[in-house]
Each structure stands twice: as structure tokens, then as C-alpha cells.
Amino acid sequence: MPTRIERIQKSKRNAEDEFYTIYADIAAELPNYRDQLKGKRILCPCDWDESFEQQIVYSDGSEVRSSDLFNNLNFVKDINIDETRKSFEKKIDLIKCNFIKFLVSHADAYQIKSISVSGFNPILQKGIRFQDIDYSNYDVVITNPPFSQFREFIDTMFKNNMLFLVIGPQNAITYKECFRYIYENKMWIGYHFHMTGFDRPDGTHIPKNDNKVRSCCWFTNMEVSLRHDEMILTEEYSSERNPKYVNYDAIHVKETNLIPYDYPDEMSVPITFLQKYNPEQFEILGYSGTLAKPMKEIAQKGEYQQGGPAFYRLCPDVKYKYHREFPRIIIKNKKVRHNED
């Protein structure tokens, strides 16, 4: 039985895991998948909404209350789109869950087959955890899952062969459990690499210039047309501009738009490269968290900033002799172009 202190700490962690997606971000991303949502059974499995305690979704023209939504731990609410449209549209402003607000509002235009919603309130112990859902009844998952469980959530999606469109932290790219899906070309970035804001359960708003907002993006395994756009590379390789790391045999490329068009070997790029990643143009080989050689085998203590696995390059004019890089991805250009080409 958890102690009082443990319950308080758990409640604090849960509160820090609650970020509500604003309507504008959903309205900017979801229309890009309109054709792919046609005829699909959609589930929003992480969308506990405090307004469920009152009234937000409708069935057969009548209000559905929390007692109907969460009468046991294995309940998922299916929203009857056709029979509830008038009631829903009249009271749509009551809905706090913007995923449901957008999907039901666009269900006819997108020809969505069904929309279902579920969630779990860890403090009240109501609802159903995403781990316990029978996903065989659904085709697509759209949600903003708890970031503290993002690794497990993505694994759950693949174990159940689900199509998904979800919001997650950008640094999830470097989670070993998530990066392998990117490496295997099974998961990629959506159309937007930043959010424009989040709302908190206490009613406060987190603006787009907050790091919590800027460091989040959409992840999906649905078709994203941008993935087939070829980057136009204009930079030539320069040993001065593209030095090699001291603990891995790859050149440093500061920004994605500075990738040299004429370099045939391994290159290190920032994780923002995934916004432009075209699998026909580039090959992903790994990332610094697993490829970097330990610096203690190369340099003396005090010559470099310590931390987890990372790439380092010689930079004697700063505090440390060796400069530590943020997490980076290793790629190769499949379409190397030389000047004579």
C-alpha cells in the first residue's frame, strides 16, 4: 500500500505529465491525413478530460456522463457520430478534449467510420490504461500520450499493428526504444516539428516560446508526403567547416541545410534533420547515444565536459579542449553529387 508521501509524489508526477493539446495545433496537422482517415475507426486512448465529470459526448442525442463513460476499468466510449451531431454541435464548446472536438466536427467531411475515446485518471483511478485496451477494434490512434510513458506507448502501438499520429517530446528521437523504429523506417516525424502551445489542467496556458512547447513534435507511421521531397544541397564539403569527431569517424555538419552534396561517407546532423529526411535520398546509420566511443579512452579528465555518450570535436579555444555535442544522427547521402556531375 503506497504511503501518503508516495501518493503525493505520484500525484505531482502525474500533474507534470498533463499537457492538453490546443485546437490550433490539431487543426494544423490532422487535415494532412484526411484521405488516410477515410473509413477508419479512430481511438483517442489517452484523453481523460475533467469535463467527463460533467457532460461532453453524446449518444442517441442524449448527454453521456462520467458514470456512463467510466463505469468500469475496461470501458471505452464509442461516439455515435450520425445520431449525435446536432446535440454535439450545440454544446461543442463544453468539450475540453480538442482531439474529440476536431474529429467529431470533421467526421462527415473526412468520412470517418467511428470515433472512440478513453483515458485514465491516475488520481481518481478511473478509466482504462492504454496498455489494457483491445486495439483490434480500431484502425488509427490519435492522441497526446503521457510523455513519461512515451516509450511504452510507442511499443504498444507497434505490438498491436496500429496506425498512429501522436505528440511526443523531440528527445524521444534519441530514446533507444524509439530510435530503432526511426532507424528501421517504421516511424517518422509528422508535418510539424513544434507545437504552438499547451494548456494545463489548472487552466494556465504554456505559450509557443516556452521550451516545453518548442521541444515537442508529431510522430506517426502514416504517410507524410514531405518525406518524398528531395533536399536541394548547395554546400561543398570542407575539412575546416566539417571537422571529424575525436570519438567517432564522421564529419560534423552544423545544420541540416549545410549538408555537403559531395561527401560520400558518414555525416553527423542534428535531430532536426528528421524534418527533411527523405529515405530515398539519405540512409540513417545510427545516433550518438550508441555510436560514440567513451571519451575517457581518448582524453584526460578535465579536457571535456562529462556526461552520457556523445560526440566530441577538438575545440581548444573554449572552456574544454573537446566540445561536447547535443544528440546527433549519423547519415549517408545516397545521391552524392560531384562538381563534374
Phi and psi at 121, nearest 5°, equal -100, 105
Identify residue 289 by its one-letter amino acid code: G
Three-class DSSP category at 260:
strand
Q: Is the pLDDT of residue 187 over 80?
A: yes
Q: Whole-model pTM?
A: 0.83
Q: How far is CA 327 from CA 78, 110, 270, 275, 324, in A?
A: 41, 39, 7, 15, 9
How much is the pLDDT for 253? 98
Alpha-carbon distance of 155 to 282, in angstroms, equals 25
How many CA atoms, within 13 angstroms, populate the side-chain half-sphere of residue 220? 24
| Among the listed residues 299, 288, 284, 281, the one whose alpha carbon sits nearest the alpha carbon of residue 337 | 281
* CB atoms closer than 10 angstroms to residue 109: 9
Q: Is the pLDDT of residue 247 over 80?
A: yes
Q: Is the pLDDT of residue 256 over 80?
A: yes
How much is the pLDDT for 96? 66
pLDDT band for 142, please (50, 70, 90 cuts): very high
Domains observed in the chain: 4-226 (3.40.50), 251-333 (no CATH)
Distance of alpha carbon 281 from the chain centroid: 23
- Taking only the tens place, the pLDDT of each residue in 153-181 is 999 999 999 999 999 999 999 999 999 99
| Among the listed residues 245, 241, 186, the one whose alpha carbon sits nearest the alpha carbon of residue 219 | 186
Stretch among 12-26, 169-183, 262-276, 283-297 having the lowest mean pLDDT: 12-26
First to last CA, the chain: 70
